[in-house]
Amino acid sequence: MIKKLMLAVAAFAASTGFAFAQVDVNKADAAALDGIKGIGPSMSKTILEERSKSGPFKDWGDFQKRIKGMGDKRAAKLSEAGLQVNGVGKEGAGMQADAAKTNDKAAKPKTAAKPEAAKSAT
């Protein structure tokens, strides 16, 4: 019974994007980085190579500058998924994701109301 309950909780947490543990980019191995939603084998390899070549990442700005294709939106999503740099999540990560959703909604054109057909007087 307890196993089923734990399995159900784990499945729910996985489906909602809940991160069980934070992963520090300066301490993680390839498997830990691959466990972050949004990081695959190619990205984890790039991160590990850059870290071994130039040393640990100082902060999120340094991480974004050294990893090709790591813009503010992507960094915010990875931070929300549990990635940290020196034990710190990206500042305002939740707010950036919310703002992006709001901007996406604002960018969609609203459908214009159809004018009523002019009724002819008979």
Reported as a single tens digit per residue, the pLDDT across 16-66 is 445 457 999 999 999 999 999 999 999 999 999 999 999 999 999 999 999
Is residue 85 over pLDDT 50? yes
- Residue 79 has φ and ψ, to the nearest 5°, of -65, -45
Whole-angstrom distance, CA of residue 58 vs CA of residue 12: 34
Structure-derived torsion over alpha carbons of residues 84, 89, 90, 93, reported in degrees to the nearest 10 = 120
Region for residue 83 given its phi and psi (left: phi exceeds 0; alpha: psi -120 to 50; beta: otherwise): beta
DSSP letter for 26, please: T
Query: CATH number of the domain at 21-90, please?
Result: 1.10.150.280
The answer to whether 25 touches 50, Cβ cutoff 8 Å, is: no
Residue 121 banded pLDDT, cuts 50, 70, 90: low
Whole-angstrom distance, CA of residue 33 vs CA of residue 82: 10
In this prediction, residue 15 carries a pLDDT of 46
For the chain, domain boundaries: 21-90
Whole-angstrom distance, CA of residue 68 vs CA of residue 71: 8
Half-sphere exposure of 8 (CA within 13 A, CB side): 5
Whole-angstrom distance, CA of residue 94 vs CA of residue 90: 9
The answer to whether 21 touches 82, Cβ cutoff 8 Å, is: yes
The string of pLDDT tens digits covering residues 2-17 is 665 555 555 555 544 4
In this prediction, residue 16 carries a pLDDT of 47
In this prediction, residue 21 carries a pLDDT of 77
